Every structure is written in structure tokens, then in C-alpha cells.
Amino acid sequence: MDMWGKRGDMVVHDMEPFNAEPPPGALLDRITPVDTFYGRNHGPIPRIDTASWRLRVDGLVDRPLELSLDDLRDRFPRQSVVATLQCAGNRRADLMRFRDIPGQQPWGPGATSTARWSGVSLAQVLTEAGLRGEAAHIAFTGADLSQEARPPQPFGASVPVGKATSEEVLLAWAMNDQALPTAHGAPLRVVVPGWIGARSVKWLQRITAQARPSDNWFQAGYSVLPPEADPHTAAPGDGITLGPIALHCAILRPEHGARLPAGPTRVTGFAFAGEDRTVARVEVSGDGGTTWVRADLDVPESPWTWQHWRADLTLPAGGTELVARAWDSTAAVQPESAATVWNPKGYANTSWARLRVACHR
């Protein structure tokens, strides 16, 4: 049983492929330690020999490249970004309480974590390859073979050229100033800050500039289908393909089902809005959403990270529902209920964070 160097109290959804999230209370640090960072895999984790590994850059480029890790280190400046990765399936468990989602992991709020990623800028590698004007999407292919895909294939994804050439997108070989661990994509992974985790392809082998989005199974697979669609028969165009992460928040402490003394209680969590939105305000309720207290919100470590928040409530004796909701910089607020956002694959649960606690005198 290989836990891939993770802490002993991870919530393990599957051992093979390895899917695990930390308990919510372990996510209170701005930067998540490597042993606490969630793991999300669609196939067996490959062990790659770095010495013989090469990255291929091809497609709509003037000069196709084949680069070793040393080539990347020597020929491009080192860059870092602090960025939160979040799986599109984060907080699926709350959707499943409303209506079942067969065959998908019941992720709690921990399918999200933040690291300092270091490597080289994807934009600079594309410039070196001579990216052509007709290229509209940059596709990434990993080295892992997923049996979940139809037909079985390596994991892949793409992002539009505009995002791929923005300065925050990295090809990373280091995580929190340590060598990138095997489980997180060594020797090299893509990091697409502000976009769903599925676009940050691990064990990167190939970058292809192309006119159309990736036809990899997981590109269309990570989409929001209409409520009554059958995910097994849905066609690639049936869903809304996920890219930037929508406004989201979670309560980290206290945890669901906690028993607490009635009276003053500190509630802590994080909020996150991807791409060009920022979190403007977080509110917390100790009475199921009738009255609200404004939370104290941290300044983000970078434009690409979550923000922790905390609020002090006075809770009555008895069972209580704690609720948190975030507003973003366009004054959009999270939807109230999981029913609003439920979708057949359980992605993008942007609804209010809710959990029940029991308070005693």
C-alpha cells in the first residue's frame, strides 16, 4: 500500500488510482505542506526516469523542440508562482447529499491545496518553439494511462493560447522548494493558476499547439452536463467545458458533526475565485442563513491563491447549521443551495458552505 508520502490522517477515496484529501482542519496554512496536499489521479502514478525523459513541443510551431530537464533549466529563467490547485470535484459530497452521483469520489472540501511552484514559463518555451498565429489552443499530454477514459488513453487537457501564454502558467519541476514529488507529476507538470486542477497536467510528455481544443477524453469529460444527461452517453459538446474556477468557499473548522460548547465559537475557512475575479467579502451565519457576520479575510499570498477567513459567532445550545458564503469582485455571490448547481458528474459545487454542529451547555 503506497500512500505516496502523505500524512496518516488523509481521507483516502481510492488507493488505486490514488485519490486522497487532507482533513479540513489540515488546510489552515497559506501554503500546504507536500505531505498534506491532495492527490487526484485517473490512472496509476507512473515512475519516470528523468535522465531519459524528454518534453516534446510540436504542432503549429516553426521549430519543434525536444527538451531534457537540464535543457529547460539551462535555457530558460527560473520562475515561481504561489497557486492554489482545486479539483473541479471539490465538495462533491455536498451535491451527493442532495442527489446521488454514482461512480465519483465523494470529495469533501479538501480537494484543494496551495503550493509554491517553480520551473519555467510556458510562454517562453512556446516563444522558443516559434508559436504560429493559427494556434488557438495549447494541448498537454501526460505519461499515465487512464482506464477510466473511453478508449483508455493518457491523461490530457488544453487551454486557450491566451491563457497558455500568460506569465503565470508554468512548467514546474519544484513544489514548495523541493523536487516535484512523483505523485505530483515528476519530472515536470503544468501549473495553470486559476483554472480547474484537471488542466494542470502531470508527468508532462508533450505540448502541442493546435487550432482546436484537445480531443483528450478528459478535456470534454471535465464539463458541467445538463441535470438529466447520462454521463455515459453524453457527447463532447453536451456540457459546459470547465476552465476558470468559479467563486467558491469552504468551512474548515469546526468540522461537520463537531460537538462544541455553546457560546463564542470561531469559524475558519477559505474562499477562492479563479482567473480575473477576486474574493471581495465572506459572510458566516450561525443560524442557517438568517443573520450574517462579516468574516475577517486574509490578503492573498498572490493573485492565484485562496484566502483564509475567520469569524466569531455566538452559538446557541442545540443543533445548528453553520453557513458561509463569498462575494466576488463583480458582486456575484455564491448560490444558496446544492440543488441549484447539481450536475450529473458533480463538478463546480459553488453553493454556500454548510455544516451541522451540536452545541451543549
Residues that bind Mo ion (CB under 5 A): 40, 87, 197-198
Residues numbered 167 to 196 that lie near ligand MTE (CB under 6 A) are 184
The nearer residue to ligand MTE, 197 or 300, going by C-beta atoms, is 197
Residue 354: contacted member of ligand MTE, Mo ion, none (CB under 5 to 8 Å, by partner type): none
User: In the stretch 124-153, what mask flags binding to ligand MTE with x, by CB under 6 A?
Assistant: ------------------x-x---------
The nearer residue to Mo ion, 107 or 352, going by C-beta atoms, is 107
Is the separation of the CB atoms in 291 and 285 below 8 Å?
yes
Residues numbered 67 to 126 that lie near ligand MTE (CB under 6 A) are 85, 87
Residue with cell 501549473: 191
Residue type, 333: V
Question: Shortest Cβ distance from residue 347 to Mo ion (Å)?
Answer: 9
> Is 155 one of the binding residues for ligand MTE (CB under 6 A)?
yes
> In the bound complex, which residue of the shown chain has the CB atom lying closest to Mo ion?
87
The nearer residue to ligand MTE, 26 or 282, going by C-beta atoms, is 26
Is the separation of the CB atoms in 311 and 293 below 8 Å?
yes
Question: Shortest Cβ distance from residue 192 to ligand MTE (Å)?
Answer: 10
Question: Shortest Cβ distance from residue 147 to ligand MTE (Å)?
Answer: 11
Question: Shortest Cβ distance from residue 184 to ligand MTE (Å)?
Answer: 4
d(CA 218, CA 182): 21
d(CA 10, CA 7): 6
Helix (H, G, I), strand (E, B) or coil at 306: coil
Q: Enter the C-alpha cell of residue 85.
A: 490547485
* Per-position DSSP letters for 313-339, written without gaps between them: EEEPSEEEEEEEEEEETT--B--S-HH
Residue 104 burial class via C-beta count within 10 angstroms: exposed 0-12, middle 13-18, buried 19 and up: middle
Distance of CA 275 to the CA centre of its chain: 13
Residue of 6, 13, 42, 92 that binds ligand MTE (CB under 6 A):
42
d(CA 43, CA 129): 30
Residue 38: contacted member of ligand MTE, Mo ion, none (CB under 5 to 8 Å, by partner type): ligand MTE
* Per-position DSSP letters for 255-299, written without gaps between them: PTT-EEESEEEEEEEEEE--TT--EEEEEEESSSSSS-EEPEEPP
Helix (H, G, I), strand (E, B) or coil at 73: helix
The nearer residue to ligand MTE, 176 or 302, going by C-beta atoms, is 176
The nearer residue to ligand MTE, 115 or 355, going by C-beta atoms, is 115
The nearer residue to ligand MTE, 142 or 274, going by C-beta atoms, is 142
* Count of residues of this chain found to bind ligand MTE when the rule CB under 6 A is applied: 18
Question: Shortest Cβ distance from residue 200 to Mo ion (Å)?
Answer: 9
Is the separation of the CB atoms in 318 and 360 below 8 Å?
no
Query: Which is nearest to 251 in space by CA: 358, 351, 101, 104?
Result: 351
Residue of 11, 26, 36, 38 that binds ligand MTE (CB under 6 A):
38
Number of C-alpha atoms within 13 angstroms, CB side, residue 109? 28
> Is 13 one of the binding residues for ligand MTE (CB under 6 A)?
no
Q: Give helix then strand counts, H and E, for the chain.
A: 6, 23
Question: Shortest Cβ distance from residue 149 to ligand MTE (Å)?
Answer: 10
Residue of 173, 203, 272, 306 that binds ligand MTE (CB under 6 A):
203
> Is 197 one of the binding residues for ligand MTE (CB under 6 A)?
yes
For residue 24, what is the DSSP state?
Answer: G
Question: Shortest Cβ distance from residue 196 to ligand MTE (Å)?
Answer: 7
Catalog residues that contact ligand MTE under the rule CB under 6 A.
37-42, 85, 87, 142, 144, 155, 184, 197-198, 200-203
